[in-house]
Structure formats: C-alpha cells, structure tokens
Amino acid sequence: MTHYTKVINMFERTAVLSCDGKCQKAWGLNNRPKIELDPADDDDFAYFADHELGDAPANPGTYEGRDAKPPNPENMNKWCARECERSSLTDPGQPLPPVEFYGRVYNLPTRHQGQS
C-alpha cells in the first residue's frame, strides 16, 4: 500500500502526518457515514468501509482554520491532520500506518472484535 508522509509542526512539536492518499474517499471525521451500534451509547459506532460508500465530496464542508480538504495528498494541510479520518499523526521515528477502510472501522473495537 502506498502512503504519504509529511513532517509538520503541531502544538509547538514536530510530528509526522501519514495518509493513504485516497483523498477521493476522505469524508472527514465529522462527515463520514457511520452506523450506530448501541442506541444507549453514542460512542458505539462504526464508520462504513470504502466499498460501502461512493466517493466523498470534493468539499465536505469542514475546515481547520482556513484549510479545506486538499485535492491530493501532495497538498496535505491542517484539515488532513485534524479532520481526515484516513490520516495518522505520530512522533518522528514512530511510524504508524494510516487508517484503512477495507472493512468497517469501529470506534470501540474491543466491543466488536472479529467483526468487519
């Protein structure tokens, strides 16, 4: 799997932003369609897998400062670091692959081990 990285400064610290480069599938944490799993617990949900969704809007309507979702991974910005559900943010030297949406991604994975 190809992924992109960019060294950034965030909250006065150096960090590494990683993403899978699938901007066309990035909805944003606040907009990605999800399914509620427990009506009594708002935190128990799963984001739908990529194959369950079409492409995301080019502009999902969320911003971080002045930064909107970029058109491609070469233009990673604040939106990618704070809103994109496909990215990961780590300390330098601590590689963490971006989130993959081959299956559903559970917010409380220990409650749903073995499901996808």
What would the two tokens of residue 2 be? Answer: 């190809």
Contacts of 37 (CB under 8 A, 6+ apart): 44, 45, 46, 106, 111, 112
Number of structural domains found in the chain:
1
Is the predicted pLDDT of residue 1 greater than 70, yes or no? no
State the pLDDT confidence band at 98, using cuts at 50, 70 and 90. confident
Q: Is residue 28 in some structural domain?
A: yes
**Range of the structural domain that residue 55 is part of:** 4-111
Residue range 16-47, pLDDT digits in tens: 999 999 999 999 999 999 999 999 999 999 99
Q: If residue 78 lies in a helix (H) or strand (E), which one and from where to where?
A: helix 78-82
pLDDT, one tens digit per residue, over 44-82 is: 999 999 999 999 999 999 999 899 999 999 999 999 999
In a domain, 116, yes or no: no
In a domain, 76, yes or no: yes
Burial level of 78, CB count in 10 A (0-12/13-18/19+)?
Answer: middle
pTM exceeds 0.95, yes or no: no
